Amino acid sequence: MDHRRDRAGGRRPARDGRALISQPDLAVVGLGPAGRALAHRAARAGLDVVAVDPHPDRPWTPTYAAWVDELPHWLGPGVLRATVARPHVWTTRPRALDRAYGVLDNRALHRRLDLAGVRVVGGFAAAVGTRVVLLRDGTEIRAGRVIDARGLSPDPALAEQTAFGIVVPASAAAPAMGEAGCWFMDWRRDNAAAPDDPPSFLYAMPLGDDTVLLEETCLVGRPGLPLDELRCRLDARLRTRGVEPPANLEVERVRFPVEPHRARSDVAAFGARAGLIHPGTGYSVAATLSAVDDVVGALISGSDPAKVLWPWPARIVRSLRNVGLSALLDLDPARTPEFFDAFFSLPVERQRAYLSRRADAPGTIGAMWHLFRTVPPPIRRTLAMAGVRRP
């Protein structure tokens, strides 16, 4: 056992020689955004928490972003590195969205979710049970509750999002941005993809330090488009627009499932692993941060965190979002821009209901029905078929 990695875990040898960390109220496995938020808020609420991750202090590298109105108030100001008041999309035409969007400052978020008072253990969980976690080094953690926040690992059976991005100085990115200043989704076909190829879009987001992330993104695929293909498309698109990226760029490679693993488990989960990821967008960070206090409340009151996360309206929304995912996977590639044109023509409140309100069944149904009525007939058929296949 490597005691140097044990910052405050309080390990002691058990009778059989294994190290034992006993009886915290809560053991959190995984310190991504979900696990760290949970450990932080639970400790703040007075629970005795042990948290385990192979690299507990490693900074998060993905560029996390969210709609600003999704973030919970307790986070306070200062966790965003950039905000765009009116992000733009190019579907069949350019348009601005009346909903502020922000890129998270990972370091600031890490600090905000400080683990003061949490016993942090550096280690890899080999087995995770409802009340016990066994680490690879033999350490055993026995806890009142265990919450599995290990995220999602790639799985060929699952739909996934893939993307390839580069971070360039804002001046170099300018020709790709035009007057919009930011593209939340740019579906123009200047990326050398054939009309019937699976489509990808450009995500072009200012990062707040005079740099811009230019990312060719496959929203969902089963499997997602390979990263090499996305890299070629990004190169082609940037060449067409006259962008000359400088050498030695920071690169972002994205590949993660947008739906949870299918194997059932009795262990309560949180974050992407718990299904808090939106299958139609791949976003989970804001939903997770918003849900954390409900889970802490359940832990304190002794109720089941899964029941708190998944009341029946949330389960209905989950099914409806899965219908949406099926529709996206089945869409005729040539019609994808028209589909998103109809989506972004919805009143912003309807967009928000579909994208962000994970327990608002009437709002989600309203958004989907409105969309169904307004898309062109061939797309309507695809949506109807998705609904029939996934009730």
**Which of 11, 40, 88, 150 touches ligand FAD by CB under 6 A?**
150
Toward ligand FAD, which CB reaches closer, 148 or 338?
148
Kindly give, in sequence order, each residue whose CB lies less than 8 Å from that of residue 315, ignoring residues fewer than 6 positions away.
Answer: none
Least distance in Å: CB of 287 to ligand FAD? 7
Taking residue 88's Cβ as centre, other Cβ atoms within 10 Å add up to 21
- Residue 283 as a binder of ligand FAD (CB under 6 A): the answer is yes
Q: Does 277 bind ligand FAD (CB under 6 A)?
A: yes
Specify whether the CB–CB gap between 33 and 152 falls below 8 A. Answer: no
Locate 386 and state its tokens: 């998705």
Judged by CB under 6 A, the residue of 43, 120, 272, 314 near ligand FAD is 272
Minimum CB distance to ligand FAD, residue 288 (Å)? 6
Question: Which residue is associated with the tokens 């001046």?
Answer: 171
Radius of gyration from C-alpha coordinates of the chain: 22
Contacts by 292-295, CB closer than 8 A, 24 or more apart: 292/34, 292/37, 292/38, 292/41, 292/72, 293/41, 293/72, 293/74, 295/38, 295/147, 295/270
Choose the binding region for ligand FAD from 71-79, 146-154, 186-194, 294-302 (rule: CB under 6 A).
146-154
Q: Is 252 in the site for ligand FAD (CB under 6 A)?
A: yes
Q: How far is the CB of 337 from ligand FAD (least distance, A)?
A: 22
- Indicate the SS3 state at residue 139: coil
Using the rule CB under 6 A, is 31 a contact of ligand FAD?
yes
Nearer to ligand FAD, 62 or 333 (CB): 62
Interacting residues with ligand FAD between 176 and 215 (CB under 6 A): none
**C-beta of 70 vs 338, nearer to ligand FAD:** 70
Minimum Å gap between C-beta 145 and ligand FAD is 16
Q: How far is the CB of 315 from ligand FAD (least distance, A)?
A: 19
Whether residue 154 has a cis bond before it, omega within 30° of 0: no
Task: Tell the smallest beta-carbon distance from residue 2 to ligand FAD (Å).
Answer: 15
Which residues does 159 contact at the CB level (< 8 Å), separation at least 6?
220, 221, 222, 224, 257, 258, 259, 279, 325, 329
Q: Which stretch of DSSP H or E encloses residue 289?
A: helix 285-301
Size of the residue set binding ligand FAD (CB under 6 A)? 32
C-beta of 106: minimal distance to ligand FAD in Å?
10
| Least Å from the CB of residue 197 to ligand FAD | 23
- The distance of closest approach from Cβ of residue 360 to ligand FAD in the complex, given in angstroms and rounded to an integer, is 18
Counting contacts by CB under 6 A, is residue 149 touching ligand FAD? yes
Q: Is the dihedral of CA 235, 241, 244, 248 positive or negative?
A: negative
C-beta of 258 vs 386, nearer to ligand FAD: 258
Would strands 26-29 and 49-53 be described as parallel, antiparallel, or unpaired?
parallel
Residues 48-87 that bind ligand FAD (CB under 6 A): 52-55, 62-66
Q: Which is nearer to ligand FAD, 160 or 338 (CB)?
A: 160
Rule CB under 6 A: choose which of 9, 24, 35, 221 binds ligand FAD: 35
| Closest by Cα among 244, 232, 100 to 174 | 244
Among 9, 24, 30, 305, binds ligand FAD (CB under 6 A): 30
Cβ proximity to ligand FAD, 100 vs 365, nearer residue: 100
Question: Which residue lies nearer to ligand FAD by CB, 268 or 386?
Answer: 268
185-209 burial code (b ≥16 CB/10 A, e <16): bbbbeebebeeeebbbbbbbbbbee
If binding is defined by CB under 6 A, does position 109 make contact with ligand FAD? no
Which H or E run includes 163? strand 160-169
CA separation, residue 203 to residues 135, 244, 250, 369 (Å): 39, 17, 16, 27
Q: What DSSP character marks residue 64?
A: -
User: Which residue, 71 or 375, is less far from ligand FAD as judged by CB?
Assistant: 71
**b vs e for 27-54, b when ≥16 Cβ sit within 10 Å of the residue's Cβ?**
bbbbbbbbbbbbbbbbbbeebebbbbbe
Note whether 282 binds ligand FAD by CB under 6 A.
yes
Interface residues with ligand FAD (CB under 6 A) are 29-35, 52-55, 62-66, 124-125, 149-151, 252, 254, 256, 271-273, 277, 282-285
